[in-house]
Amino acid sequence: MKSAVKQKVVVVPSVPFRKLLDEYRSNLKAMNRSPRTIFWYLEILERYFAFLKASPLLKPIEQLGTHELISYILHLQNTDRWPNRPNIEKKTGKLSPYSVQGQVRAIKAFWSWLQRESHVDDNPLAKFPLPKVPEKPVNVLTIDQINKLLNLIDRSTHKGLLHYLILLILLDTGIRVSELVHLRIDDMDLQHNRLQVLGKGQKVRSVFISKLTKNHLTHYLNYCRAQQICSAPSPYLFSTPDGEHISVNSIQQFLRRLANRAGLDGIKCSPHIFRHTFATHAVANGANLFALRDIMGHATLQTTMKYTHLQPHDLQIQHAKFSPVANLDIGKTPKR
């Protein structure tokens, strides 16, 4: 009998995780992911590998899988919020289920990339379910609350006009606050009541403004911004004296103070609540969901629907309009 020929097994050396993270960072940059997103992904992965090393559970990348991830999830569920930051004004306690889910999502995305780039043959995390989170109630501002906020702003000052216009644009367009602070003068097409917005993934889209917003925007451009003294010319619609765009944090702080003055207890008046408010009122007023998806810059209709939170009164009106029973022409009262 002929002796069996032994197959030579080629062992591919494992790539150090540090080198993989550097390559992943470069890939995210090439995909035009925002600096903030890249920082968020890499920070989560740094923490994950640091945990594995300290546990110790760290092994070559192709040997890591669900066992290690489950250990990390249990660790996260017992981790305090904001460690080593005693002065931060945030709620204390353990990490929220939403934070834990977000970190697991980032780790799963990294393993999907590892498989696409042939760093691993199989993705053991592909079917790993995300940890469940409780359904989070989202507050939406009513028309009365919107009027109350707007009426509290002193429009006799430059800063007041700026803040008033910021609220109008957020409510009128539903754009993200990060998109708002990066708006440029060249993005304005007031003849057609249109703004060009640079959204996620460097995608440009058009949003439209109402006559009221256009009037305040024109006034701001002609009288407020034109008189603003800057050390350098600025391309931004809302700029600081040194020519940079205003910060997201400055808008967050302003809205927090305004909500306190308005007495909106129990409502987190963040810039994002105006995005939810825009979408919800748009749907309540009969907006087409496909058009709303494009206006808000969402990749899928499912994402758009997460932003709509119709109130009971709105649902009752919609039910009366579209229920087949409510529109039957067979008599209004039952016969006896």
Question: Tokens 């305090």 correspond to what residue?
Answer: 80
pLDDT in the model for residue 41: 94
What are the structural domains, with CATH classification, of the chain? 17-81+93-116 (1.10.150.130), 143-316 (1.10.443.10)
Instruction: Return the CA Rg of the chain.
Output: 26
Over the chain (336 residues), the average pLDDT of each successive run of 10 is 43 68 93 86 94 92 94 93 56 83 95 94 93 80 91 89 93 92 91 89 87 92 74 81 87 92 85 90 83 86 75 62 63 56
pLDDT in the model for residue 15: 65
Contact in structure between 275 and 295 (CB atoms under 8 Å) = no
Contact in structure between 130 and 104 (CB atoms under 8 Å) = yes
- CB-based burial, 217-245: b 16+ in 10 Å, e otherwise: beebeeebbeeeeeeeebebbbbeeeeeb
pLDDT in the model for residue 3: 46
Please give the C-alpha separations between residue 84 and each of 18, 125, 129, in angstroms, as whole numbers: 25, 31, 31
Question: Tokens 């640091």 correspond to what residue?
Answer: 50
Q: Which residues contact 308 (CB under 8 A, 6 or more apart)?
A: 279, 280, 282, 283
pLDDT in the model for residue 6: 45
* Amino acid at site 266: G
pLDDT in the model for residue 4: 47
* Amino acid at site 140: V
What would the two tokens of residue 53 be? 């090393």
Query: How far apart (Å, rounded) are the C-alpha atoms in residues 95 and 105?
Result: 15
Query: How far apart (Å, rounded) are the C-alpha atoms in residues 247 and 66?
Result: 40
pLDDT in the model for residue 306: 77
